[in-house]
Chains A and B, each alone.
Chain A
Amino acid sequence: MELEVENLSKVFINDNTVHTVLRDLSFSVQEGQFVTLLGPSGCGKTTLLTIIAGFQAASGGRILLNGRQVARPGPDRGFVFQNYALFPWMTVRDNILYPMKQQKVPAKEREQRLQELLFMAQLEGKEKLYPHQLSGGMKQRTAFIRALAGKPEVLLMDEPLGAVDFQMRQNLQEELESLWLKDKTTVIMVTHDVDEAIYLSDRVIVMSALEGKVLEDLPVKLPRPRNRKDREYIKTKEHLMDLLKIAVNKRPEPPEAQRELCLA
C-alpha cells in the first residue's frame, strides 16, 4: 500500500475572489503508518482529507493509491467522521454489516468478520443496540470498526475525538491506539491537538494556515504505548507547539469572508 499526494491544490471561489486553501501539496504515506495532519483551524487539513476520500474534487494535482489515481469515494479508503455518522436507524450490527454487504462479502464471512470486529472493539453483546443507546466511547469504537469492516487499504479519520472533553479524550486516545495496534491499517488522521498527534502517530505532518503548505514532516519514534510525561515526549510536544505558533502567526489577518470560510 502506498498513498501519494501529488502537487495537490484546492481553491474556493467566493464572490469573484479566489481563496487558496491548499497549494502544491505533496507527500506520500507508506503501508502501516499512522500519520497525523496537524495544523491550526482553517489550514485546510480536513479539506485535504476529504479530497483523499473523494468527497470533493481537487482543483489541481492528484491522489494515487498504489499508483492508481483516485477521484471518487471508494471502499479502498475507509472514513471515520468527526461526529461518527453512524446510521441511527440501524443497530450496531447492521451498521457494521452495511459496508460488507455493499461489497458482496458472502454471508458466512460477513458474520465471522463481524464477530472478530466486535471482539476487537469489546462490543460483544452490544450488537442489537442503536447508536443513540451507546456511550461516546462505544460510538467511537463502532465507527472505527465499521470503517475497518470493508478492509480498506487506508483509514482516514477526521478529528475522531473532536467532540469529547479532555479527560475522555485521553482515554479514547488510548483505546484508539490499542485498537489500531490490533489491526495496523494505514491511518491518516486530522487533528489540531498536539498531544493527540504525538500520542498516536508514527509521523506528524504540520500544515501552515497560510495556503496549506507543509511546515514540517516529523517522524515520532517514541516506543508505544507512549508516556505523556516522558522527557522526549514533552520535548517533541514543545517543538510542535512552537511550530504551530509560527503556523498561526505567520499568517496575515484574513479578510472577513475568508475567515468565515476557514471556520467552515
Chain B
Amino acid sequence: MEPAGDKARIYNSRNARLIREKVMDSFGQKKILYRLITVAAVFGIWQLAANHYQSEFMMPSPLKTMITFTAVVHDADVIKNLLLTLRRVLTGFAYALMIGIPLGFLMGYSKAAMQLFDPLIDSLRQIPIMAWVPLTIVWFGLGDGPTVFLIAFTGTFPIVMNTIAGVQNISRDYYNAARSMGAKPWSIFAHIIVPASMPDILIGSRVAIGLGWMSVI
C-alpha cells in the first residue's frame, strides 16, 4: 500500500504540475542544494543592501534581524498572537471549504446552477479585498469576525473555480461506464465525481490557504 499522499497523486496523471513535483522529489539532494542557493542569494543581496544604507532603521543587517527573530519567537505574547492568527486562518479556510466545494460541485455539474451563480461570483471576485474591510468591521465588529470573513471570502473563489474545473474535466466515459453498471446518481457523485475532481480541489485548497495568510490583517 502506498501512503495516502501518494494515492492522491496517482490519479493525477493528467496534472503535469504535480507530476513534476513528484519527479523533483526523486532528486531530493539536488532540491536541497537549490533551496540553499536561493537562501544564500537572498541573504547575500540583503547584506549588500545593508552595507549600502548603513542604517539600522532603513535596512538592518540579516545577522541582526536573525538574532532579534530568535529572541522574539520565545516571547509568549508573540506566540499567543501567532496562534490566534493560525486559528483565524484555519477557521476562515474551513468556511471557504464548506462553501466552495459544494458550490463548485453544483456549478460544475449543473448548467442551470452555473448560469445562476456565475455572474454573482465573477463580480464579487473582482472587488479589491481592502474595500471589504470597513464593511466587515461594521458587520462583525472588531475581533475575529472581519479577519475570518475575509480569509473565508478570498479562499472561496479558488476553491469554487478549481472544483468546477475538476468536475467539468471528468471524462464522459466515466459517467457512461458507471451508468452502464447500474450506478445511481448518489453513487456516481460519491464514487466518480468526488474522487475524479479531488486533485483539482486540492490545488484550489492550496491556493486558498496561501491567500488566507495574505488576508490576515
Taking Cβ atoms with an 8 Å cutoff, the residues of A that contact B are 53-55, 72-75, 77-79, 81, 83, 85, 87-90, 98-99, 102-103, 128, 130, 132, 150
A78 to B180: give the CA distance in the assembly, Å.
6
Interface assignment of B210: CB less than 8 Å from any CB of chain A: no
Given that A102-B183, A103-B182 are known contacts, is A85 also in contact with B13, CB under 8 Å in the complex? Answer: no
B12 → A minimal CB distance (Å):
9
Chain B: which residue is nearest A158 at the CB level? B173
B 160-198 binary contact with A (CB < 8 Å = 1; else 0)? 000000000001011011111111100100011001101
Query: 10 smallest A-B Cβ distances: which pairs?
Result: A99-B181, A75-B182, A85-B173, A73-B179, A89-B195, A88-B11, A89-B11, A73-B180, A102-B182, A85-B177
Q: Which residues of B contact A128 (CB under 8 A)?
A: 1
Taking Cβ atoms with an 8 Å cutoff, the residues of B that contact A are 1, 10-11, 13, 171, 173-174, 176-184, 187, 191-192, 195-196, 198
A218 → B minimal CB distance (Å):
28
B181 touches A150 (CB 8 A): yes
Kindly identify which residue among A85, A87, A90, A99 contacts B182, using a CB–CB cutoff of 8 Å: A99
Q: Which residues of A contact B10 (CB under 8 A)?
A: 88-89, 130, 132
B182 touches A74 (CB 8 A): yes
A83 to B173: give the CA distance in the assembly, Å.
9
Given that A85-B171, A89-B196 are known contacts, is A150 also in contact with B182, CB under 8 Å in the complex? Answer: yes
Kindly identify which residue among B13, B178, B180, B196 contacts A77, using a CB–CB cutoff of 8 Å: B180
Given that A81-B173, A85-B171, A98-B191 are known contacts, is A53 also in contact with B180, CB under 8 Å in the complex? Answer: yes
Kindly identify which residue among B1, B176, B184, B196 contacts A79, using a CB–CB cutoff of 8 Å: B176
A83 to B174: give the CA distance in the assembly, Å.
11
Q: Which residues of B contact A150 (CB under 8 A)?
A: 181-182
B141 → A minimal CB distance (Å):
45
Q: Which residues of B contact A85 (CB under 8 A)?
A: 171, 173-174, 176-177
Given A78-B180, A87-B174: 7 more A-B contacts, CB < 8 Å: A72-B179, A73-B180, A74-B182, A75-B182, A85-B171, A102-B181, A103-B181
Q: Which residues of B contact A74 (CB under 8 A)?
A: 180, 182
Q: Which residues of A contact B176 (CB under 8 A)?
A: 53, 55, 73, 79, 81, 85
Q: Which residues of A contact B11 (CB under 8 A)?
A: 88-89, 130, 132
A75 to B176: give the CA distance in the assembly, Å.
11
A72 to B176: give the CA distance in the assembly, Å.
10
A102 touches B184 (CB 8 A): yes
Given that A85-B171, A85-B174, A88-B11 are known contacts, is A75 also in contact with B180, CB under 8 Å in the complex? Answer: yes
A88 to B187: give the CA distance in the assembly, Å.
16
Given that A81-B173, A85-B171, A87-B174 are known contacts, is A98 also in contact with B181, CB under 8 Å in the complex? Answer: yes
B171 touches A87 (CB 8 A): no
B197 → A minimal CB distance (Å):
10
A88 to B14: give the CA distance in the assembly, Å.
11
A87 to B177: give the CA distance in the assembly, Å.
9
Q: Which residues of A contact B187 (CB under 8 A)?
A: 102
Chain A: which residue is nearest B176 at the CB level? A55
Q: Which of B171, B176, B196 gathers the greatest number of chain A CB atoms within 10 Å?
A: B176
Q: Which residues of B contact A130 (CB under 8 A)?
A: 10-11
A189 to B180: give the CA distance in the assembly, Å.
16
Q: Which residues of A contact B173 (CB under 8 A)?
A: 81, 83, 85
A87 to B187: give the CA distance in the assembly, Å.
14
Q: Which residues of A contact B13 (CB under 8 A)?
A: 88, 132
A52 to B173: give the CA distance in the assembly, Å.
15
Chain B: which residue is nearest A85 at the CB level? B173
Q: Which residues of B contact A75 (CB under 8 A)?
A: 180-182
Q: Which residues of A contact B171 (CB under 8 A)?
A: 85
